[in-house]
Structure 1
Amino acid sequence: MLDDRSNRPAESAEQGAGTPTKGILAGTRVLDLSRVVAGPLAGQTLADLGADVIKIERVGEGDDLRTLGPPWVTSPSTELEQSTYFQTVNRGKKSLTLDFAKPEGAEILKGLIRETDVFIENFRTGTLAKYGLGYEDLKAINPRLVYCSITGFGQTGPYSDRSGYDYLVQAMGGQMAVTGLPDGMTGAGPMRVGVPIADITAGNNAVIGILAALLHREKSGTGQHVDIALFDSQVALLLNSLSAWLNSRAPLPRTGNDHPTAVPNGVFAVKDGHILIATFNDREFARLAEVLGHPEWATDTKYQRSRDRLANRKDLTRDMTEALSHHGKKHWMDTINAAKVSCGPINDMEDIERDEQLALRGMFVTLNHPVMGDVKVVGSPLKFSDTPVVYPNAPPLLGENTEAILRERLTLTDAQIEDLRANKII
C-alpha cells in the first residue's frame, strides 16, 4: 500500500503560471463517502478549491466507477488498470478504505468527523442512520458539521426510498421529453443527453449548497444538513421548457438541432461540412443577413421579427443554406463572428483537445501518479484572480492513503492498524 509520502503533489491550478497556491478552501476538511458521479464530482470540486478531501471507499472493492470500463488508464510499470471515467471526478483526493458497517469502522469514521467540516454521502435515504452515521448522529459529535446527502429523489417525499441513476432521472425529470428529433422525422422520439447531465447538475448543486452552508456556519457557528436530489436538479434544468407548460400550457416540442423558439439557431450545411449559428434577437439576425449577402431579410415581413422567423423557419433555413453553400467552414466562422454573431464548429474530442482557447484557459492538466504515471484530466472551469484552483494529486489508488490518514488524524499505532487490517475493517 502506498502512503501520503509517495503521492507527489502536482503543480498548482494554472499549470506553470506561477507560485503554487493552497486554494480558497485551504484548511477545510472533507470526508467523501459518495460513489459514482454526482457526489465524487462535488468532492473533487472542493478539492480543486483547496479543501483536504478524504475519499472513504469499500474495502477490497472501492468506488463502483473504478471498474466501469473500458477504456482504461493503465500503469506503465504494472498491469494495474483504472477506468478513465474514475479519473474524471476523483483528482485531488486521498483514499481510505473502511468498513463502517462494522462498529469498529463506524468508530473510526466518527473519530475523523470530530475535525471534519464537510461530510458528503450518496447512500439511499436512511442507510447511514442504521450505522449511527446519520445527520443527527454526526451532528451530536460535531455541531459545526455540514452534512450533504445526494440521492436520486431526496430525503423526503414518496420516492425518497428509491434509488435513482442519471438515465432514469433524465427520463422522469423531463430531459428526454425535450431532447431528440421532432415527431415525423426518421429516428424521432425521446433521447437522453450524451453526458450524465442530472449527475453533473446535482454534483454542482451540492457544491453550491455546501459553500452556502459553510458561509452560514461562519455567521451562526453551526452546520446543517444539505439535501440534494438528482430529480430536483434535473427538473430545475428544464427552465423555459417547463415554464412554457406551467404558465401557458404550451409544451415546447422536440426540435432536434433547432432551438424551439430562437431562429436561426442550429446546425447549417456549408461547402465543406457543418457549422453552428446562433442568434437570439432581431439585431443579431440583421447583422447575419448582411454578411450572408441578403440585407433585405432584416426588413422582410417573413423574417423581420423573431416570431416571424419561427413561423417561417423552413423557408429561412432553405434560403440560408443556399447562401452558405458558396464557402467553407473557416470563411463563415471568421465572417460571421466578425459580425458579432455566434458561430462555431461542431467539434469532436480530438478537436477539443487541440482547441487553442481551451489550452490557453488551462482546461487540460497532466497529473503524475507514482504508480499510474501521467494522467490527463480536464481542468476546473472555475477561474479566480487571486486564489486559483489547485490540483494536489492525481486520482488515488484504492486505499492508497489509509495508513497515513489513520496515523496522522487518529494517531493509531502500527499494531492497531495491522489489527484493523486483519479484521478487514480497513
Structure 2
Amino acid sequence: MGTRSALRTEVDQRLLNDPKFVAAHLIPDNDDRDNDKAYFFFTEKVVEADSKEHAIVSRVARICMNDAGGQRVLVNKWSTFNKARLVCSVPGPGGIDTHFDELGKGCMERIFKDGKSPEIYALFSTISHVFKGSAVCVYRMADIREVFNGPFAHRESPHHQWGAYEGRVPYPRPGVCPSKTTNQPRRQYSTTKDFPDEVLHFARAHPLMYKPVYPWHHRPLLVKTDLPHRLRQLVVDRVEAEDGQHDVLFLGTDAGSVLKVVVLQKTSSATTEEVVLEELQVFKVPVPITQMEVSVKRQTLYVGSSLGVAQVRLHRCETYGTACAECCLARDFWDGAACTRYQPSGKRRYRRQDVRHGNPVHQCLDQNLTGETLGEKVLYAAEDNSTFLECVPRSPQASVQWFVQRPPDEQRDEVRLPLQLLCSL
C-alpha cells in the first residue's frame, strides 16, 4: 500500500465502540491540499452516566489525509481523529425530540454546489420497538466544520455527565492538519510527528466534540412513518426545472420498489412538504434493494438486489403522453404538445411547469386543449352491457372519479361503487 507506515485508531472504546461504518468521503477544506480531510460516517454504542443500557448514535468523524501519527505518543496511530454526534430528530412538545438514530449502510449521498461544500443527504431509521419510521436529513459542511472547530467534550469519569472542556487547549489545536495554516515563525510543523506530546495526549483523551451536528433547519427534510415497508437506500438527482434546481430523492425499499420524491420548501416557513412523483416496483419479487446509483450521463437509475441489477430511466415523462393535467401533477415539463423533460429552449408561450404547486387548472386551461387532455373523458355505453373504466391514474397525484348521466337527465350521479370492484367487473 505504499511506503508509508500503516495507521489505525487505538483499541479504545472512547474512540470507537462497536462501530458500524456507513461511508467515507474525502472533502477538502480549502485550496491547501495539506488541509484535506477524510470524513467517516458510522454508528456506535454509547453508555450514558445515568444508564447501564447501550444506546446507538450516529457519528461523523474526520482525520487529516497527511496524518502520520506521533513521534513518541500515538505512534502509527491516528493523531488527528475527532468525532461528533450526527443528530436527525423531529422537535416535539416540551423539548422531547423523536430521534432517528440508525444510519443505514448505503444511505448517504453528497450533492455538490461547489467543490468544497457538499450537502450531505442521509437516510435514518428508528431503532425503537414502539415507533417505526424513516427520515432524511441534510447536513451542510459549514455546520459540520463549525462543530469540529468548537469545544471538546469532557467528563471526569464514566460516572459523570459530559460537559464542554473549559481548560486550556494546546497548540496546534488537536485535530488540525500540519500545513501553512498551523505553522508559525518559531514553530514549524511539516508532519504530525512534529506535534508536541501535549497535543497528542490531549487528542487521545478528547476525541469527542461537545456540540452535535444538526441538520439544515434543525429538522428532517423528509419523514415517513406510514409506509408498509422499510426504506433501505437513498440517492439524489439534482435536476433543472422552470423555476430553478430541485433535488429529487430516489428511495429504495425492502420490498423491491423505489419511491421518487421531490421535497419542496414552503415559502412561509422553514417546513417542507414532499410530493411522491412515482412509486416503481422494480423487482417483481419483494426483495430488499441493496444498492442504487445514478448515472447523470445516461440519465439512468441502476438498482441492485440479490436477484440482479435493473435500470430505470430517471425521467419517464412519456408515461403521461398528451395528458397535460397528469403531466402537470407529476411536476414534469409540458411543451405545448406532450410531456417531456425540461428544455430551456422553445416557445415560452407553450411551456408549462410548476414544481411547487402543480395546479393543472392554471397550466392547462389556456392552451386550447381538448376536454380529454384536461383530465375528463366521456364514454358512451349501451344499457345492460359492459364498458371498461380506467381506475388507476398514471400520476400518483391524480384521482379518478366516474359519473353517470342518463339522457335526457342533465344531472350527473357519481358512481359510488368501490373503484377496485368497478375495475374488476
| Structure (1/2) with the larger helix percentage | 1
Q: Normalization by structure 2: what TM-score?
A: 0.24
Higher strand share: 2
Bigger Cα Rg = 2
**TM-score normalised by length of structure 1:** 0.24
